[in-house]
Structure 1
Amino acid sequence: MPSIATSHGITINYQDEGPCDAPTVILIMGLGAQMTVWPDAFYYGLVSNGFRVIRFDNRDTGLSSQLEHCGRPSLIKAWLSRRLPISSSVPYTLEDMCLDVLELMRALKVKKAHLVGASMGGMIAQLLAAKYKKKVLSLTSIMSSSSAPALSRSNVGLLFKLMRLKPAAKSQEAAIDYLVKLNQLIGSPGYPQDEQILKQQARLSVSRAHTPNGFKRQLIALTNSQSKEHLLGKIKAPTLVIHGLADPIIPLAAGQKTAQQIHKAKFKVVPGMGHDFPPELMKKLTKWVSKHIKKAEQKRLKKK
């Protein structure tokens, strides 16, 4: 896969498919997830629907820059620093990750784009749509929120389960086993995936890149991000919010609130969907997102 270098010395690895003169769609992935987590059925489905589609590895993920010089900051200290007068280093912010997207657009000569963000990627897309309105033609926010997820009975229980799952060894096999169990915990109860398929996907992911320290740095960027609720009213781009009814990490209410705060946003609930991309739902999601983008394009052309 090709890559670009930003003015801040960050290398961003990306994939760019579809006609260069077609409407451009940029997919922004979530916390600790490589661009390959976007299902091929969804990615190439958008391409076959007539779009130029770009997906990329966020900084500290996949084949993009690993900021190991930033060390392994303490998650507990970073969390306490928001509530107590304790100093804590924050390697970077979600705003910095927004700038990575803008630099990728500039390098690929994309003046304006339709943004599709998942989870933390949805938060980045929301920031871009609010602060850089002229760059964003439409916004699709999937399984996301306008602020760092609040602690609830369900996700606190999930957090403790994830802590117990943490691999004791640093081997590839331990990392693969962790990813399988993680995906089983956050997955869609209405669309359970076969364990062998999850293991195969995990093996491909770990062999491509394994960045546990990068995950921690991204998590600190996420937890230290200010609420974007006050910015959502500034979003003018046509917006579609998609959320799973069974999401164990970001509750349905968070997606609903995001849609309510963005002017004329459309909200679609997916029964049985958790915090993942079940293969059975990719045809439906591709259809929804394609229709949303095409309507935004028609509206833009009418204005012209």
Structure 2
Amino acid sequence: MKLASNGLQFEVIDEGPRNGQPLLMIMGLGMQLTAWPDGLVQQLIARGFRVIRFDNRDIGLSSHLDEQGLPNLGLAAMLYALHLPTPQPAYMLQDMARDALGLLDALQVRECHVLGASMGGMIAQHLALLAPERVRSLSLMMTTSGARRLPGPSLKLRAALLSRPARPNDVDCVVDHLLGIYRLIGSPAYPTEPAELRERVACQVKRSHHPRGVARQLAAVVADSQRAKLVSQIRAPTHIIHGKADPLVPPAAAPDLQRRIAGSTLDLVDGMGHDLPEPLWPRFVAGIAGVAGL
């Protein structure tokens, strides 16, 4: 269904018992709501959650902001590396947190638990800072405080992330390109069967493929330079889940985040990269439900 928030339109799926504990799930950079595996969603529903998923702005079936133009990511990355101010992006992660808050209003959800993955975890942190009275608990997966001293991805991975498919209008070529990236960031101890991964990626691309939106989201991530100084103000019960083999957000980000958020718990997972492997779903659900008091 489509809901209005913050002047934009958002594609939303609201599942589970109406009297369940609302759980707002926020996906990462360039990822659609369908990137949350259905099996994981069903396990969360079975634990008593009412699961709310949505496409972030500029991605999937939500509003695209192409009128904002394309950012100069090369310049932004260089300035970021030099610890200099980056260009003003089309929008900030705080704006994306306000999107989420408006969706809660549209759904008449006063308080909820929040689960954010990668960039979604950054947005979730901003949501907990923006409206602490609305966030009952916070589960942060494979994400970071944004502190600049933390290690980042390798140059090889950065180059892969900034690369483009040879034929951007050819679905098979786009799928092959994305598969190459997913293989670089996936969990070495929990590899997804190749045919299954291809089918999953192809479904995502056919539903929506919007690289211009990904670029604007990435510019918002790069410009989000002050969050590390603020996250110590988060008071919601917080659980952090991170893979020890994450090449995109290296695992040093997890204990840093735990140190900054008082009382937070940390689950560092052997062999997990930057994805959501099926064998780990029960472990994720246990941690998310635990911090939520379920």
Q: Same fold (TM over 0.5)?
A: yes
Q: Gapped runs of 5+ residues in structure 1?
A: 296-304
Match of 1:29 among 27, 30, 36: 27
After TM superposition, the structure 1 stretch with the greater mean CA deviation from structure 2, 187-196 or 208-217, is 187-196
How many residues in Structure 1 have an aligned counterpart in Structure 2? 292
Q: Deviations over 1:182-237 (max 9, x none)?
A: 11110001111122111101110011000110000000000001232221221111
Rate the CA distance shift 1:292–1:7 in 2: closer, same or farther, 3 A: closer
Matched residue type, 1:52:
R
Aligned to 1:141: 140
Percent same amino acid among aligned pairs? 38
**3-state SS of 2:293 partner:** helix
Structure 2 CA distance, aligned partners of 1:84 and 1:190?
35
What TM-score results when the alignment is normalised by the length of structure 1? 0.90
Q: Deviations over 1:147-190 (max 9, x none)?
A: 17768475223113444x53111111111111111111100011
Match of 2:9 among 8, 11, 34: 11
Off by >6 Å, runs of 4+ in structure 1: 84-87, 148-151
**3-state SS of 1:147 partner:** coil
Structure 2 CA distance, aligned partners of 1:18 and 1:153?
37
Does the 8 Å CA contact 1:148/1:225 hold for their aligned counterparts?
no
Match of 1:60 among 48, 55, 58: 58
Structure 2 CA distance, aligned partners of 1:12 and 1:235?
27
Structure 2 residue 80 is the aligned partner of structure 1 residue 118: no
Does the 8 Å CA contact 1:191/1:280 hold for their aligned counterparts?
yes
Does the 8 Å CA contact 2:139/2:239 hold for their aligned counterparts?
yes
Q: Gapped runs of 5+ residues in structure 2?
A: none
Match of 2:42 among 29, 41, 44: 44
Structure 1 CA distance, aligned partners of 2:148 and 2:179?
23
What TM-score results when the alignment is normalised by the length of structure 2? 0.93
Does the 8 Å CA contact 2:31/2:59 hold for their aligned counterparts?
yes
Matched residue type, 1:244:
G
Aligned to 2:227: 228
Rate the CA distance shift 1:196–1:111 in 2: closer, same or farther, 3 A: same
Matches within 5 A, 1:172-187: 172-187=171-186
After TM superposition, the structure 1 stretch with the greater mean CA deviation from structure 2, 188-197 or 148-157, is 148-157
Aligned to 2:71: 73
Structure 2 residue 106 is the aligned partner of structure 1 residue 127: no
Structure 2 CA distance, aligned partners of 1:150 and 1:156?
16
